[in-house]
Structure 1
Amino acid sequence: MGNSLLRFLLVYLTVAVTSAYGQSHVYKPVSAKKSAAVNPLSPDPIFSYRWDNPKASDELEAYTLKPVLWHNPAGNFKMDAYKSKGEITVIGAGDIRFDFGQENAGWLEFESDDVSGDVEMSISEYNEPAVLNAGAEHPVKTLGPVKHGNIYRLELNRELYEGVRFGWIHVRKFVSPWHIRNLRLVCQTKPVNYRGSFASSDAELTRIWYTGAYTVKLNLQKDYFGAILMERSDRHSWTGDAYPSQAASMVAFGNYDFVKLNLTNTSGLNNGILSYSLYWVLSLIDYANYTGDTAFVRKYISNACSKLDTAYNHFGKQNHLGFYGWDERLGAGFENPDNPESQRAYQMLSIRSWAEFGGLMNQLGETALAKKYTGYAEQKMASIRENRGWVSAYGLHASADAVNTRLTTPQEDSLFFKANYTDRVNRLSYSPFNQYFVIAAMAKMNRYDDAISAVKDSWGGQLKYGGTTFFEVFRPDWNNILKPNDAPINNQCGYTSLCHPWSAGVTKWLSEEVLGIKPLAPGFRVFEIWPHLGSSLSWVKGRTPLASGIISVDINVASGKSSFSVPANTMASRVAIPFAQNVPEAFYINNKLVYKAGQRADTTLCAVRDGYFILKNVAPGNYQCKAVYKIKRAQVKPSQQNWAYAIPTMEQDSLTRGNWTNKYGKSGYMLFNDEQTGAHLQKLPSYVKGVTIKMAGDVHKPGIIGSLADTLGHPGAFGALVTKDPQPTAQCITMDIISKDKARHQLALYFLDDEGDTRRTAVEVFDADSLKILSPVQLIKNYEKGKYLKFNYTGNIRIRVCQVRGKNAAVSGLFFD
C-alpha cells in the first residue's frame, strides 16, 4: 500500500520513555510519569508526563518518537510491516520522508543488520532537507549516517540535536534488499512541568499559548535558555532573546530556579547589543515580581545600576546599537541598526527600564535608588517633550516602547494609535520578538480587540503555516504564496529559524492581559486579576504558578459563573469580573449578594464600572462568583480590517523571456553585470534620480537561453545580481529606487535561473522613506527560462530580493515604463 505516488500513511504516535536506545549512554531515559490528560491544543508530545520536583540542576533526558506520516513517492520502501513490527524493507534506490508531527529537539537514527549500497539521511524543520549558512558544523543537513554497532545515526554536530520535524532516508545506490528497524527520532528534554495553563473560547489563542510554551521548552539546555534549535553557528545564549523566553517560561512552567540560573549566567553579557543589557534588567524585574526573591535582586543591584547608568550616558547621542530587530523599520537587523527609529526606540526602552527599576527599588526600600532612576525617567521624558512634534516622528516600534514606559498621556497614545496601529499590515513587526512589545503597547492603550487581532495575525498565522513552534520572523502573507510546512523565506536574518523562543512572549502576554493575572509587588505579595476578553471572547481560564502556590482564574461571561483563588500570604488588590455587554441584575460571591441593580451598592464590597464587577483587597481563599443578568448579550467578533496594500497586485510574465526590447524598458533599464562583472548596462529614466544596490554579489558569463538581449535585440551575455549565500545574514539584495516625482510608473524585474537550480526567490517592496511594506510578498519560481515581475509604484521604493531555495537568489534586470 506504500507504492502510490504522494501517499501518506497515518500511524499512531508512539512516545517511548522506557528506553533511549542508542543514546542511553548520553542522556538517561525520561523519568517523568504519564499522569496528566493529553492536551490536543498543545504540540508537546510528552505534555501529559510529569516529573517529581524538577530542578535547574537536572540533566537533560531523552525520549523517542516514531513518525506519524511518511511520503514514499517511488514505492521503494515497503511499509507493510512497519506498524506491526517497526520494520521497513528497502527494495530500490530513492527517498522516503518521515513527518514526526511537530518540531522536536533531536536526532534521527535507525537499526539495521543488513544495510547495503549507499545511504544518506537528512533532517529539517520544513518539508525539504534543510540547508543553512556557512559556519554551521554541517550547513547542509544531509549526511551519511555514523554506524554504532547496528545503529545508524545522523550526526550533524557535536551536540547531536537539531530542530527536527521531518527526516529522510536516501538510498543513493541500491545493491540488494535490506531492512530498516526501529526508525526513530531521539529527543532531548530538560525536566519541567506545565504548572501554568491557559484556555479560552478561541481555541487558536489557546494553541498559541501552548505553542509558545513548547517553543521555550525545546530550547532549554542543561544550564541555560537556548535561543535557536537548528545549528547554524549562533546556537548559544542571547541575553535579549531570553527576556520574552524567560517570561513565557515563568508563566508556563514556574521553573524559577532555572530562570535565576540563566540570569546569573548572562549577567555580564549583552552580545554586543546595547538594548540587550536593558532587557536583562527587565528580566531581573520580572523575576523579582514573580518570585519575591529580593535577596537575589540585591545581589545584582550594582550590576543593574551599571547597565542603567550606561544607558543614561547614551541618551541623546547617536549610538552604535548593534541590533534592534529584523524589521525593515528597525534597520533590517545588522544592515542599518543605528537608524532614527531604532535610536528613538532605544531611548524609550531606557526610560522604561529606569522607571520600572525605580519602582522595584521603591518596593525594596531603596529610596535613594528609586528616586534616582524614576528621576532619570521623568527628566528624559520631559526633555523629549520639549520637541512639541515629537510624537509624529515615532513609528510603530519606537511608539510601542514609548507607550510601554507608562509615562505617555492619553492624548499621546491616541496620536500614536492613529498613526501606527490602524493599518493591519504595518502594525505587525517582521519578528514576533518585536511584536511582543507592540501588543504590550496595545494593551496599555486599552486596544484589546486590535491586540488580539494582531496576535492571531502574527502567531496564529504561524500556526496556519504549519508551525508547531514559533519562528524567528514571519509575515502572514507567506500563507498566500507557500503551502503549509514549505521551506520558509530566508532574509536579513539569514536562514530562517522555525523554532526561536524569542517569539514566545505572547504566552506571558495572554496570561497577564487576557487571563489578567499580574503581579503588583514582588512575589505576587500583591497582585491583580483583571481579564480582558475584548469583544469576542466569552470565557477564559487558567493558572499562574507562584514560587509557592497557584493563582487560578475561571471567567465565563456567558453563563455568569466565575471563580478565582488567592493563595496564602498574598492579597489581590483588585479582582475584576467582566460581564461584558450583558446588563447585570445581581452579583454574588460565595453565595453572598454584593450587588443588586437599583440598590445603593456598598463599594467597599463591589464596585461596578466599565463592564466589570470590581472587588478590592481580596484576602486569601477560594471564591465562587455568580452574575445574574437582566439582559443577556452575546459577545460579537469585531469586524476585521482588510489587508490593505499600496501596491495590491503584481503580475508575472514567463513568455517574453530575454526579448525585452519591444515590451519593457521604454523609459529606462538596468541590465546587471551585462557588460562585465561589476558593470551594468543602464539608461535610467528622467524621473529616476538613482538606484542604490546593497548586499549583492555580481555574476557575468556567456549567455544562455533566456539571457537578456542587448538594446538592439541581439543575444546577450548572462549577468545578474545574486545573494551572497551561504554567508550568514546575506540572503537578500536590496535596491533603493529614488524618484524625482510622485507620478505612477511601471517597474519590471527580470529573473533567470541560469543553472536550472530550481531557485525560488521572494520579493518584497517597501516605501524607501517610511520603510513600511507596500505589497504582499511575491514568490518567483520556475524561472529557468526567465520570468518578469511587474508592478506600478509611486515615490521612492526599496526592493528586497530574498533567497528561498537554490544556490542563491538571482535578478538580472530592472525595466522602467
Structure 2
Amino acid sequence: MICKQFNLVWRNYLKYNPDKAIIAFVLLINFLGSNCSAIAQGKDYPSITAEKNGTPNLFSPDPIIDYTWSDPKASDGMETYQLSPKSWTVSNTRNFNMSDFKLNHSIIVNGEGDIRFDFGQNNAGWLEFDSPDQIGSVEMSISEYNETPDYPANYPTKTARPKKYGNTYRLELNPELYEGVRFGWIHVRSFSKTWRITSVRLICQTKPVNYKGRFSCSDTTLTRIWYTGAYTVKLNLLKDYLGAILMNRGDRFSWTGDAHPAQAASMVAFGNFDFIKKNIEYTSTQSNGIRSYALYWVLSLIDYYRYTGDTETLNNYIANVCVKLDDAYKVYGTDPNLEFFGWDERLGSGFEHPNLPEPQNAYKMLSIRAWNEFSEAMATCGRKDLQEKYRGYATEKILELKKTHEWYHSFGLHAGADAITTNLLNDKEKKAIYNRNFTDRVNRVSYSPFNQYFVIQAFARMNKYDEALSSIRDLWGGQLRYGGTTFFEDYRPSWNSVISTNGPVPNNQCGFTSLCHPWGAGVTKWLSEEVLGIKPTAPGFTTFDILPHLGRTLTDVSGRTPTPLGDISANFDILTGLSVISTPAGSIGRIGIPKAEKKISRITINGKLAWDGKYHSVSGVSAAREDTHFLYFTGVRHGTYKIVTTYLGNTPKYPEPIEQYPAKFMGMDTTTSGNWGKIFGKDGYVLCNYNGAGVDKRALPSYVSAVSYYKVKGNGEPLNTVWEPKTNDQRALAPDAGNGTPRTASCLYSADADQIGYTFTCTIDIKGVKNHQVSLYFVDWDKKRRKISVEMFDAATSNLIAPVKIVENSIGGTYLKFAYNKSVKFRINMVRGDNAVLNGIFFDPVSSNKPIRQERSGY
C-alpha cells in the first residue's frame, strides 16, 4: 500500500508541479527506506519456473530466451534467476586475487580498491556478493554503462553500503531493489586483513512470458534490433503493469503514452494479449497530464482490438475514448496547453517548450489520426453513429486545412510524420512533405526512439522502405554499435564518434538518460508488420495480409506473429525464390510475393503451377493479381504453402544518402587557455557572468543582435558562479584582448533542483548570410571531473547542424570551434561531474565564405 501511495503522489507532483517532483521523490524515498524494509527483505520471488527448451538465439541479448513457461498468464507474479559476471577488471591486481573466480567464484581481497563486473547485457535486478569473513568498509555500485554513475546529491544514488543478510551482502538502492544493471562494482574502502568473496551475482527479476513471435532477415543488424526491442520490453514487464524505465529515476510506473509502442512490440514478440489488456486498463484513467498521451492510449486500445478482436473490451472503453477524442476536438485550433510531446529539440525539448508550433501541429495531426482510426474501429463493431461522428471530425479538420495552398509548409519532421499517418493525404501532399523533411539523413532521425516510431510509420505509408530501414540502422543500429543491449530513452548517432563503447552518455533535457526504456521498442512491431509484412486486416486476424517489404537492401526475411487463432509464419527469399507460409484455421488472407523491382515469370504453390502471366487455380487460394510491388494471392485459407518463384532481372542497389551537416566543426583548442586575445574574439566576445550576478562582459560584433540563455536561473535567483573574482591563473579568461590580469574565473551553469535541470541552452541571433566562426570556452576550474556534451542547432528550425562534441579533461581550458552562417542554438549538457558549464563565447571571421557542409559516408 505504501508503494502504491508513493506512485500516486509522484504522478500528481509530476503532473501539476514537475519542477518539484524530484524533491518529493527524494523525500518519499527517504521515508520508504525506513518503512519498507519488509518489502526489501521480502523480494525473494520464486525461482524461475521456466524450462530450458532449445538453444540461445545469438541475435538476442536475453540470457534466458531459451527458457519457456508452460502457460504464462497476466496474473503470474514475478520470478527470479541468477546471473554470474561475464568478465571483470580490478583497480589493483595485487589487492584482488581473481585466479579462482572463473571456476569457483572465489576472490581473495588483499587490500583497498575496486572490482568491476560486466554481466554482458542490461538486466533488471540487484547485485549481491557472499563472504564468510568480510571485514572493513565496503560499498557497491551498479550502472547501465561502464563507469559508476556520477549523480548530484539530490538524485537517487547508485552507490551505497550493502545490507548484510547472513553471509550475503546486497545492494539495496530502493524499496523495489531492482535497477537497470549491466555493470556492478565492489569497492573496498578500508582494509585491515585478508578476507574472501565466495560468490558475486545478479538476482534478476522477470515476468513469465514466452517469445511466441520471431524475426530474422538478411541484415543481422535488423534481426538484432527486433530481439533487442523485445528484450527491452520484457525487462519492464512488472507484476501488475508495464513499467516505463529500469533506472530508479522516479518514473518507473506505466506512462500512458510511453506504453503505446511498448505494448505494440509486446504483442508481436510475446502475444501476451491478456497482459496488454491489463495495462490498458491500468492506464485508462491516466494521461500523466499530457494531452497527446491520452490519444496514444486510444491508439493502444485500437492496436489491441485489431490484434485480438476483443470487441467486449473495446465496447467497455467507448465512453472513455469519446471523452479523450472530444477533448482533442475541443482544443483543436486553440492553444492545447501541451505539457510534453517528445524530447527532440524540434518538439520543444520535452517539458521545456512543449507549446511550440511544431508540437502543436503534430498534436493536430495526431488528433485527426486518432479520430479516423477510431471511426474505422467503430465501423467493424456496428457503431455507425460513432463511425460517422469521428470520421466527420477527421474529414472536417483535414478539409479545413486543405483550403490553404501548401498547408503543410511549416510542418517539420514530426508534424509531417503525424500528417502522413492520418492516411488522409494525397500523393502530391505526401511527396512534398517527404522532400521537405525526410531526405536529410541526419535530421530525419528523431532524438527519441519513441517519436521515431511514428516517423518510420510515415516512411512505410509513403512506400519509402529503404529510407525507413536506413533511419532504423542509424538510430536503433547505432545503439547496438555503441554496445547497447536494450534501447535508450534518447540517442544521437553521432554519439558513437565521441563516446567509447558502453561509455557514459550525455544527460540533457530528459535528465539522466535511461539505457533501457521500452518506449523505444516500437521498431520491433514495425519490422514484423512492414518487413516481415504480417498484419491484421480485420480484428483478431480473421483476415490478414502478408506483404513483405524488403526494399533494395534485403534478400530474405522470415518470422512468426502470434494471433488469437494461432501463429502466422512466413519465409521469403528473393535469391532462391523460395517462400513458405503457414496460416491458422479460422483465418483467410492475402499473400504478396515481393517483386523487388524484378519480373516474376512463374510461380508454383505446393508443386503446382499458380502463375505464368496469368493465374492457375491451386488448392487453398482463390485468385491472383499483380501491381508494381507484389504478385498477390488472395483468399488464402488455412494451411502451409511452399511457394517457388522464378525471377528475371536484378534488384537495383540502394544509393545510401551521405550524412551531411550544414555547420562545420573547425576543431578543438586545448592550449590557448584563458589567453584568448589575438587568437579568438577578433569580431567580438562574451565573457560569461564576468561581472557577477549573471551579467556577462560583452563586445558583440555587428552581425550578432543578441545572445540569450535558457535554464541558467532558478527560483528567480541567478544560478551561476564566480569562482575567483581576481586571479592571475591563466585558465581564467582575460578581461580583454590584451590578455592581461587580474582575471575573473566565472561561468554559467544549470543546477535546477529537478530531474531535467542539468542542461541549458545558449542562443545566438546572427544577421546576414556570411559564415562566421563561433567558439565556446569551457574550463573545469574547480576540478569536478566535468565531462560536457555540446549540441549545435539551427535556431530557426531546431535541426541538428553539427555532430555532437564532447569536452573532457578541461582543467586547463578547452575551446570548441564551429562555423555557420545563421542563428544558432547550443545545448550544453552534463555527461560527468557536478554540472555543465560555459565560460565564454568568441566570434571570428572564417577564411572562406563558401557554403559549409560536413559529410560522412555513414556511422
Q: Pick from 70, 73, 81 the counterpart of residue 100 of structure 2.
A: 81
Question: Structure 2 unaligned runs (5+)?
Answer: 1-39, 713-718, 845-859
What is residue 4 of structure 1 aligned with on the other side? none
Query: SS of the counterpart of 1:676?
Result: coil
In the alignment, what sits opposite 1:661? 677
Partner of 1:124: 143
Match of 1:38 in 2: 56
Whole-Å separation in 2 of the counterparts to 1:184 and 1:596: 61
Shift of 1:543: 0.6
Query: Structure 2: how far apart are the matches of 1:211 and 1:593?
Result: 40
Write out aligned runs for 1:314-713 (5 A): 314-572=331-589, 574-597=590-613, 605-629=623-647, 631=648, 633=650, 635=651, 637-696=653-712, 697-702=719-724, 703=727, 704-711=729-736, 712=738, 713=740
Matched, 1:719 2:754: no
Contact 1:725 1:808 in 2 (8 A): no
SS in 1 for 2:665: coil
CA contact (8 A) 1:87 1:179 kept: yes
1:193-204 counterparts in 2 under 5 A? 193-204=210-221
The structure-2 alpha-carbon separation of the partners of 1:25 and 1:682, relative to structure 1 and needing over 3 Å to count, comes to closer
**Alpha-carbon separation, structure 2, partners of 1:237 and 1:465:** 27
- Give 2:786's aligned amino acid: R
Residue in structure 1 matched with residue 227 of structure 2 by the alignment: 210
Question: 1:683-738: CA deviations, max 9, x gaps?
Answer: 11111111111111311121444111112421312110112166311121101111
1:358-378 C-alpha deviation (Å, 9 max, x unpaired): 000000010010011111111
Shift of residue 456 of structure 1? 0.4
Matched, 1:108 2:135: no
Distance 2:692 2:384 in 1: 69
CA distance in 1, matches of 2:664, 2:85: 41
- Once the two structures are superposed, the pairs formed by residues 261-272 of structure 1 within 5 Å of their partners are 261-272=278-289
**Deviation of the 1:26 alpha carbon:** 2.2
Q: Does the 8 Å CA contact 1:757/1:806 hold for their aligned counterparts?
A: yes
Q: Report the alpha carbon displacement of residue 554 of structure 1 after superposing the two structures with TM.
A: 0.8
Aligned twin of 2:780: 753
Equivalent position of 1:11 in the other structure? none
Shift of 1:579: 3.7
Deviates more, 1:116-125 or 1:501-510: 116-125
Structure 1 residues 638 and 277, CA gap change in structure 2 (3 angstroms)? same
Gaps of 5+ in 1: 1-21
5 Å matches for 1:213-362? Answer: 213-362=230-379
Distance 1:637 1:39 in 2: 30
Tell me if 1:69 matches 2:69.
no
CA deviation after TM superposition for structure 1 residue 134, in Å: 6.3
Deviations 1:343-366 (A, max 9, x none): 000000000000000000000010
User: SS at 1:789's partner residue?
Assistant: strand
Query: 2:541, 2:565 within 8 Å by CA — same for their partners in 1?
Result: no
> Is 1:736 aligned to 2:758, yes or no?
no
Q: How far apart are the structure 2 equivalents of 1:576 and 1:407? A: 24
Of 792, 798, 809 in structure 2, the residue corresponding to residue 765 of structure 1 is 792
The residue identity in structure 2 corresponding to 1:261 is: K
**Contact preservation (8 Å) 2:438, 2:444:** yes
CA distance in 1: counterparts of 2:765 and 2:360, whole angstroms: 24
| Contact 1:545 1:551 survives alignment (8 Å) | yes
Q: Distance in 1 between matches of 2:644 and 2:759?
A: 57
Distance 1:202 1:636 in 2: 17
User: Do the aligned partners of 1:23 and 1:186 also contact (CA within 8 Å) in 2?
Assistant: no
1:592 Cα offset (Å): 1.8
Alpha-carbon distance, 1:25 to partner: 6.0
Shift of 1:567: 1.1
CA separation in 2, counterparts of 1:111 and 1:180? 6
- Indicate yes or no: 2:836 matched with 1:797: no
| Residue 524 to residue 181, structure 1, CA distance change in 2 (3 Å) | same
Q: What's the CA shift string for 1:7-56, capped at 9, x where partnerless?
A: xxxxxxxxxxxxxxx97862000000001321000000000000011011
* Kept in 2: contact 1:133–1:725 (CA 8 A): no
CA contact (8 A) 1:707 1:715 kept: no
Which letter does structure 1 place at the counterpart of 2:593? I
Rounded to whole Å, the distance in 1 between the matches of 2:209 and 2:565 is 16
Aligned-pair CA distance for 1:386: 1.6
Distance 1:291 1:83, change over 3 A: same
How high is the sequence identity, in percent, across the aligned residues? Answer: 51
Distance 2:109 2:707 in 1: 56
**Secondary structure of the structure 1 residue equivalent to 2:340:** coil
Q: Is the 8 A contact 2:487 2:518 kept in 1?
A: yes
2:4 corresponding residue in structure 1 = none
Segments of 4+ in structure 1 off by > 4 A? 22-25, 132-136, 599-604
Q: Give the match's secondary structure for 1:461.
A: helix
CA distance in 2, matches of 1:662, 1:168: 48
Query: Cα 1:185–1:600, aligned 2, differ >3 Å: closer, same or farther?
Result: closer
* CA contact 2:675–2:730 (8 Å) conserved in 1: no
- What is the SS of the residue equivalent to 2:198? strand
- TM-superposed deviation, 1:381: 0.3
Structure 1 residue 334 displacement after superposition: 0.7
Q: Which residue of 2 is the match for residue 16 of structure 1? A: none
The one-letter code of the counterpart of 1:652 is: M
Structure 1 residues 539 and 760 mapped into 2: Cα distance closer, same or farther (>3 Å)? same
Q: CA deviation at 1:297?
A: 0.6
8 Å CA contact 1:103, 1:164 repeated in 2: yes
Equivalences for residues 46-195 of structure 1 within 5 A: 46-75=64-93, 76-132=95-151, 136=155, 139-195=156-212
Moved more, 612-621 or 483-492: 612-621
How far apart are the structure 1 equivalents of 2:436 and 2:475?
20
Distance 1:132 1:310 in 2: 40
C-alpha contact 1:708 1:715 (8 A) present in aligned 2? no
**C-alpha distance in structure 1 between counterparts of 2:446 and 2:315, whole Å:** 36
Q: 1:165 deviation in Å?
A: 0.2
Any conservation in 1 of the 2:284–2:297 contact (CA below 8 Å)?
yes
Code of the aligned partner of 1:644? Q
Letter in 2 for 1:649: F
Once residues 23 and 66 of structure 1 are traced to their aligned partners in structure 2, the CA distance between those partners, rounded to angstroms, is: 22
| Structure 1 residue 748 displacement after superposition | 1.1
**CA shift at 1:639, angstroms?**
2.3
Q: Any idea what the Cα deviations from partners look like across 1:224-253, whole Å, max 9, x if unmatched?
A: 000010101222110000000000000000
Alpha-carbon deviation of 1:758? 1.6
Question: Aligned match of 2:814 in 772, 782, 787?
Answer: 787
Q: In 2, are the aligned partners of 1:134 and 1:726 still within 8 Å (CA)?
A: no
